[in-house]
Structure 1
Amino acid sequence: MSLKEARAKRDEARRLLANGIDPAAAKRQAIIEATIGAATTFKLVADEYIEKMEREGKKAATIKKSRWFRDLLDRDIGHRPVSEITPHELLTAIRKVERKGHHETAQRLRSFAGRVFRYAIVTMRAQENPADLLRGALTAPQVKHHAAILEPELFGELLRAIEGYSGKPETLIALKIAPHVFVRPGELRKAEWHEFDLEGAVWRIPGEKMKMAQPHAVPLSSQVVELLGQLRALSNAGSYLFPAFHTTRRCMSENTLNSALRRLGYGGDEMTSHGFRAVASTLLNESGLWHPDAIERSLAHKDPDQVRAAYHRGAHWAERVRMMQWWSDHLEQLRDGAKIFTPVFRRA
């Protein structure tokens, strides 16, 4: 240490003493803070936040996705003290994902980072959330709609094509049931027998299987109950209605129904398994027979008004039961002769 540096440190020590601060104690405290800061990296805080999510019972898919987001950020900021990461550093890390054209992933990555920084703030390890300053900095993703055949005549052709499917029997029945119940593909392929009350004609899907994490009940038409009887007769030993090809301990893969549609000659730009929901939503609303809320409840869409959502949770059940039977009858009409229902624009 040079004489000039030594004098500067002496003057700094005198200044601290004049302010009632022990220079030796201040040095020890600075070392402790630096050590803690270096140990409290973004990755460590993110791991702790994900562990908290697990204790709170978050869905396994949500936990898995959070770990994936953490890994995407790990190389750039994972080693950095969470309190020292700047908005520019975070933006640079996220833009590596954005430049690959994954705009929605980039938006969700910013959102995940923001939750980690907020957790760091409430646990006294950071003072600012750099993710908040990046709002509007990323390219907004374009909404992509799932391909669906919305013309009744053409949809009738699809239903007739499904009747001729020659693949695995469970896949055929899944294709037949999908347009009747119009749940999300993942909810259908993960269906288990204990969720069904065939005598009461209702399928109760637990919240952990639903996108919005809320239980959902599906009224079953007589046509669906009959299809389920056919499925039961196949005598698959397992809990899943639609087991995987090589084992009954897992459900069919997420690509099975879409692959079956491709086998029937329908490309990804024409029809998808998710498209059955769009068909039901469109044609039920166009019929004018059913209350929009009954249709939305059947689609398990979340009401943005939480108070209204709580009030309407059990509403429209009787109407939904009638609607599901009418819809199955209408599907049979389309399948058998492509008869077109003429909207009357009134409600039952």
Structure 2
Amino acid sequence: MLTHIRIASAKPAPKPYNLADADGLFVTVQTNGSKLWRFRYRFVGRQKTLHLGQWPSVSLADARTRRDEARRNVAAGLDPAQLKKKARDVAKIAAANTFRAIAEEWYRKCEDEALAPITLRKIRWLLDIAYPTLATMPVTDITPPDCIAALRKLEGAGRRESARRMRSVLGRVFRYAIHTGRLKDNPAGDLRGAIAAPIVTHIAAITKAEEAGALMRRIEHYTGHAITVIALQVSPHVFVRPGELRRWAWEEINWEQAYWDIPEEKMKRRIPLRVPLSRQVQAKILQLWEITGGGKYLFPSFRSALRPMSENTINAALRALGYAQDEMTAHGFRSMADSLLNETGLFNPDAIERQLAHQDKNSVRRIYMRAEFWAERVRMMQFWSDYLEQLCDDLPPVRSSAAAQGTRPTFGPGPSSMAHLAHD
């Protein structure tokens, strides 16, 4: 049997030679002096050799332990060489299925699905925060505590809402791994309550008619860049999300039927929205055409006509009007319309929800909400613009109008004569 001294003192020769131990174990001394452990055995009538590692990284005692394990496998009808190959293949798969590898694959899928750029940026930001903790770990090795360790980075910084969103992103990555056959269970699936709940903060908005009237009067007298002025004036009338307004493209306007078609890739919920254009909005659009009609966007950036207006432009204008961030925001026009339109009682709440592009949490109700309520929304949007005008003029609230009785707004001769320009 071999000893440590005998192995250490073995010198290389012109040809490799073996030093036998016992029960099929031996060490091969290579011509370069390296010494490799091997185990010779018979399996299904064939003589085979299993490589056990290099001395001294694998000591004599370790080599004997590995030999004994291999002998037990042979006795159990298992081929040690095949078991080793399978373990190596599993390790390779695990290395290729790290959290980063699968997350990046899932992210490319999100890009292919044309998620909104702002959504992709948020996902990338959250993944970059999670990577130091999870990136190199095989997804099959990740446990709920590992996920919590990544979430704690945001929670500890007081960013509870971001931690909640990261939990969602982690869950989506793991679900993708499950769907592609690389994971069985979602380690982020049962983390609800594991981190502190976000502190709910409502979007600052004016929701009382008198205050809305005061706001509209201030907007009417706002002075600034012409594009900003019109953007601020149009915002309360169409009450879309600020990102949708600033990326409004001329090609999205239907001049003949007076509506704005917002494609799904620009919408938060990935559901396209059609916005009826009231007579007041039509007038502003015709006014804006003289300024930006030759470009891509209704409200282009001041620096480049190829880019949309900055996301902070409307909020900056509201600050200039004297409204603090906790009083009114560009997004607040949506809450203002939601509250005041529902207060009138003149319109189906589902029509209001559809125009706001909200998605109901109830799956059955979502199916019902697919109904467009188009005719009612056309009347509602004209009513809303008339109402805002009357609030601006400090008149009593509107209780009925031609819009509510069924009159549909139209651009008239102006747009039809301009329609060919918009598509040249």
**TM-score tier after normalising by the smaller chain length:** over 0.9
Post-superposition shift, 1:179?
A: 1.0
2:82 corresponds to 1:25:
yes
Q: Quick check: 1:187–1:210 contact (8 Å CA) kept in 2?
A: yes
Post-superposition shift, 1:269?
A: 1.2
Instruction: Find the aligned partners of 2:160 and 2:206 in 1 and give their Cα distance.
Output: 27
Indicate which of 285, 297, 303 corresponds to 1:246. 303
- Between 1:56-65 and 1:273-282, the stretch displaced more is 56-65
Q: Quick check: 2:260–2:276 contact (8 Å CA) kept in 1?
A: yes
Instruction: Find the aligned partners of 2:200 and 2:395 in 1 and give their Cα distance.
Output: 31
Residues 330 and 57 from structure 1, CA distance in 2 versus in 1: closer, same or farther, beyond 3 angstroms? closer
Which 5+ residue runs of structure 1 have no aligned equivalent?
Answer: none
2:164 corresponds to 1:80:
no
Partner of 1:227: 284
Residues 122 and 319 from structure 1, CA distance in 2 versus in 1: closer, same or farther, beyond 3 angstroms? closer
Q: TM-score, normalised by structure 2?
A: 0.76
Instruction: Find the aligned partners of 1:312 and 1:31 in 2 and give their Cα distance.
Output: 53
2:376 corresponds to 1:319:
yes
Superposed CA offset, 1:144-172 (max 9, x none): 21111222222211111112211111111
Indicate which of 315, 318, 336 corresponds to 1:258. 315
Post-superposition shift, 1:314?
A: 4.1
Instruction: Find the aligned partners of 1:288 and 1:320 in 2 and give their Cα distance.
Output: 14
CA RMSD of aligned residues (A): 2.1
Partner of 2:128: 71
Instruction: Find the aligned partners of 2:63 and 2:279 in 1 and give their Cα distance.
Output: 91
1:173-322 pair list within 5 angstroms: 173-306=230-363, 308-322=365-379
Instruction: Find the aligned partners of 1:2 and 1:246 in 2 and give their Cα distance.
Output: 70
2:92 corresponds to 1:35:
yes
Residues 304 and 214 from structure 1, CA distance in 2 versus in 1: closer, same or farther, beyond 3 angstroms? same
Partner of 1:13: 70
Indicate which of 204, 217, 220 corresponds to 1:160. 217
1:81-120 pair list within 5 angstroms: 81-120=138-177
Superposed CA offset, 1:289-341 (max 9, x none): 11111111111111334454445434321111111111111111111125345
Higher relative contact order (CA 8 A, sep 6+): 1
Instruction: Find the aligned partners of 1:122 and 1:314 in 2 and give their Cα distance.
Output: 32
Post-superposition shift, 1:100?
A: 1.0
Higher relative helix content: 1
Post-superposition shift, 1:12?
A: 1.7
Aligned residues: 345
Flag the structure with larger Rg.
2
Partner of 2:188: 131
Q: Quick check: 1:146–1:272 contact (8 Å CA) kept in 2?
A: yes
Post-superposition shift, 1:74?
A: 1.0
Post-superposition shift, 1:5?
A: 4.2
Post-superposition shift, 1:273?
A: 0.9
- Between 1:46-55 and 1:288-297, the stretch displaced more is 46-55
Q: TM-score, normalised by structure 1?
A: 0.92
2:96 corresponds to 1:46:
no
Instruction: Find the aligned partners of 2:177 and 2:115 in 1 and give their Cα distance.
Output: 19
Write the letter of the residue equivalent to 2:392. R
- Between 1:19-28 and 1:4-13, the stretch displaced more is 4-13
Post-superposition shift, 1:119?
A: 2.2
Which 5+ residue runs of structure 2 have no aligned equivalent?
Answer: 1-57, 406-424
Q: Quick check: 2:240–2:356 contact (8 Å CA) kept in 1?
A: yes
Higher relative strand content: 2
